[in-house]
Amino acid sequence: MSWRSLSVLVPFLCGLFAVLISNLPLSLTNGLIPAPLLALVPIYFWCLVRPDLMTPAAVFGIGILQDVMAGGPPGVWTLSFVITYAVIDRQRDAFAGLPGLGAVLGFATAALITCACAYFIIALYYWQIPLISPIVAELAMTAVFYVPGAYAVGLIHRRMVGPLRSEP
Amino acid sequence: MANGTWKIARRSNAQLPLVIVMALAVVLVLLGKAQPGLFDRARMSLTDGMQPVLSVAHAPLVQFDRWIGSVDELFSVYQENLRLKDENARLRQWRNVAVVMQDRVKRYQSLLHAVPDPGVNSVLARVIGRASRPFLETMILDAGSSHNIKAGQAVVDARGMIGRIYLAGSRTSWVILLTDLNSRIPVSISPGNRQAIMVGDNTAMPTLDTLSQIVTLRAGDQIVSSGDGGLLPPGLPIGTVVEQGGKYRVALLADAASSEDVEVLAFRKPPEQLPASLQLPAVAAGLPPATATPPVFTIAPEPPAAAKPAIPTSPPASPADQADEDR
């Protein structure tokens, strides 16, 4: 297997790593502030920049790991990630054209779709309306972590994916 | 990035796989509903594998939390000291009352030949992780099935019950907290020994579903585990009833966020044994013990119509039927 073909795996591995980091059961705030959905950053980034590297199957795999690590009912985050991916994929031109603060708002919109999907799936799953404040806090934290997250995946893209795989 | 926007490389042609993947994800959710423990083995394998890392990484975080807490407490040391002295004096009085009452209960139990409560074994475990996800409130302990920890067992700290074991791996276990959305605990409300179900809803104070419509709750009522179901020991202190916005909730005694060392209670109510035959009332009265003999059916020759048998050959009627006939 050549280095070039290995570069296909970099976005997927970044997604898995983000899931592992964000789901470590360690907190500096005694659980007061929830961990962000870091896995959404590589999904959003590569879905816009190189969708051939972040395929639906890769998103499905990242979602499954998120479900395993997060500890909730199976499939909730998988389905939420896949739905978000579908929306980003259909609106790529609109999302990718957003500059500066607009880019953060674009990502926040994607995170809102993910969190709203997870909330409604959980509501249907348990057949009761869950408390909304934890998911709002999760959404806010995810949006806040977009800027450093996007910087990190941008760096990985330029240093690892770019040189190994020529841009079409 | 060019002019502040990302360069789009090529449009995805993955519409068909996307539909298939979405269908698979829906199937996964439905499978998860039918079989909630679908990922349990993978979860426990991952947590068991991370146990050494979590144990090492958790210690500095605890120190950091303590340092932050100590900085915060510096400004209220004097007031806190006065409050603690007052509380200590009152608790000493209550301790004396409790000792007297305990002695009295023991004497009553011996007079009444009361069956003693079954013994509870416990395993001391250390909290090595906490996860506060939007739909799951959990903590991870550094003891698992290799320490005889099983799913469903109660987890307590020095102040009261925290939750129960949700998943038990070989070296780690997950605790579902009393505040979690999935938590349902049968409780008893004192005074009056009223039964209720304490339901977590991801807030700091769980709600109470009383089993009877005529139960009236009052702020300050004590909540303990009722022991219904035989999995949790009865009488574990849980919290007190508080009124919040016209609704009654439970202010928990234990603080799961600050607990570091907890006890896992290995309690299982022993199945009720039949008394020995010598203890049966009939035997004690000098009568032979009743033996369950199967009814014997014999086919008698057809008697003449005028002389029908007095004893029916059909199986004996039930006592209820017999009573109806007598009437």
User: Which segment of A15-19, B138-142, B274-278 scores lowest on mean pLDDT?
Assistant: B274-278
For residue B269, give the amino acid letter: K
pLDDT at position B308: 43
- Of A31, A56, A115, nearest to B18 by CB-CB distance is A56
User: Which residues 6+ apart lie within 8 Å of A34 measured at CB?
Assistant: A134, A137, A138, A141, B132, B133, B134
Q: What's the pLDDT score for residue B294?
A: 55
CA–CA dist B128, B51 (Å, integer)? 8
> Where residue B296 falls among pLDDT bands split at 50, 70, 90?
low
Asked if residue B248 is part of any domain, the answer here is yes
A78 neighbourhood in chain B, CB within 8 Å: 25, 28-29
Better pLDDT: B130 or B299:
B130
B322 pLDDT band, cuts 50/70/90, is very low
The mean pLDDT value for B95-109 works out to: 86
What is the distance in angstroms between the Cα of B186 and the nearest Cα belonging to chain A?
19
- B154-156 and B136-141 beta bridge pairing: unpaired
Q: How far are the Cα atoms of A40, B65, B129, B138 from residue B60, in angstroms, in the given order?
A: 29, 9, 12, 20
Which backbone phi and psi does B281 adopt, to 5 degrees?
-60, -40
Cross-chain CB nearest to B32 (options A71, A74, A82): A74
Contact A69 B43 (CB under 8 A): yes
pLDDT beyond 80 at B115? no
Give the residue ranges of DSSP H helices in B74-121.
77-112
Residue that wins the pLDDT comparison between B192 and B147: B147
The count of residues in chain A is 168
Q: What is the domain partition of chain A in residue ranges?
A: 3-164
- Answer whether A68 sits within 8 Å of B42, measured CB to CB: yes
- CA distance to partner chain B, nearest, from residue A46 (Å): 10
Decide: A116 and A132 in contact? Cβ < 8 Å: no
Residue B64's pLDDT is: 75
Per-residue pLDDT tens digits for B23-49? 999 999 898 888 877 788 888 888 888
Question: Does residue B185 sit within a domain?
Answer: yes
Distance CA A83, CA B46 (A): 27
Instruction: Give the one of B9, B20, B130 whose C-beta lies nearest to A31's C-beta.
Output: B130
**How many folded domains does chain B comprise?**
1
Torsion of CA B261, B266, B269, B270, to 10 degrees: -150
Q: How much of chain B, in percent, has pLDDT values that exceed 90?
A: 4
CB atoms within 10 A of CB B58: 20
Q: Note the pLDDT of residue B133.
A: 78
Taking only the tens place, the pLDDT of each residue in B45-90 is 888 888 787 777 777 777 777 777 667 677 778 888 888 998 888 8
Residue of B nearest to A135 (CA): B134
- Residue of B5, B31, B136 with shortest CB distance to A98: B5
B293-320 CB burial, b ≥16 within 10 A, e <16? eeeeeeeeeeeeeeeeeeeeeeeeeeee
Residues of chain A positioned with their CB less than 8 A from the CB of B57: 24, 26
Query: Does the structure show a pLDDT above 70 at B138?
Result: yes
Element (H, E) at B243: strand B237-244
The CATH number of the domain holding residue B139 is: 2.40.10.340
Which residue on chain A is closest to B2 by alpha carbon?
A99
- pLDDT value at position A136? 92
Mutation target for A interface from B29, B63, B162, B184: give the one with most A CBs within 10 A: B29
- Find residue B209's DSSP bridge partners: B197
Domain that holds residue B155: 116-266
Cα dihedral across residues A44, A45, A49, A51: positive or negative: negative
Q: What is the pLDDT of residue A77?
A: 93
**CA-based nearest distance B202→chain A, Å:** 7
What pTM, to 2 d.p., does this model score?
0.71
Which of B18, B26, B135 minimises the CB distance to A89? B18
Query: Distance between CA atoms of B213 and B246, rounded to whole angstroms?
Result: 16
**A78-120 pLDDT, tens digit each:** 999 999 999 998 888 888 777 878 888 999 999 999 999 999 9
Q: Is residue B247 part of a domain?
A: yes
Q: What region does B11 belong to: left with phi over 0, alpha with psi -120 to 50, or beta?
A: beta
Give the closest-approach CA distance of A39 to chain B in angstroms.
15
- What is the three-class DSSP state of A80? helix
Q: Is the ipTM of this complex over 0.90?
A: no
For B157-214, the pLDDT digits (tens) are 888 889 999 888 888 899 999 888 888 888 988 887 788 889 888 888 888 887 666 7
Nearest CA in chain B to A96: B6
pLDDT of amino acid B318:
42
Give the number of A-B residue pairs with CB atoms closer than 8 Å: 183
Cβ within 8 Å, pair A52-B174: no
pLDDT at residue B168, as a whole number: 87
Query: How much is the pLDDT for B276?
Result: 60
Arch. (CATH architecture) of A3-164: Orthogonal Bundle (1.10)
The shortest C-alpha distance from B274 to chain A (Å) reads: 41
- Asked if B167 and B152 touch (Cβ cutoff 8 Å), the reply is no
Residue-level pLDDT at B230: 73
Q: Is residue B257 part of a domain?
A: yes
Which residues of chain A have a pLDDT value below 50?
167-168
Q: Choose the mutation target among B1, B7, B12 for the interface with A, i.e. most A CBs under 10 Å.
A: B12
Give the count of beta carbons closer than 10 Å to the beta carbon of residue B259.
Answer: 19
Asked whether the beta carbons of residue A121 and residue B29 sit closer than 8 angstroms, the reply is: yes
N-term to C-term CA, chain A: 20
What pLDDT sits at residue B9? 52
Q: Spell out which residues of chain B touch residue A63, defining contact as CB-CB under 8 Å.
A: 25
Q: Which residue of B has its CA nearest to A50?
A: B9
Confidence of residue B309 (pLDDT cuts 50, 70, 90): very low
B133 and A34: CB-CB below 8 Å? Answer: yes
Residue B184, beta-bridge partner list: B199
Q: What is the pLDDT of residue B284?
A: 61
Nearest of B166, B164, B175 to residue B140 by alpha carbon: B175
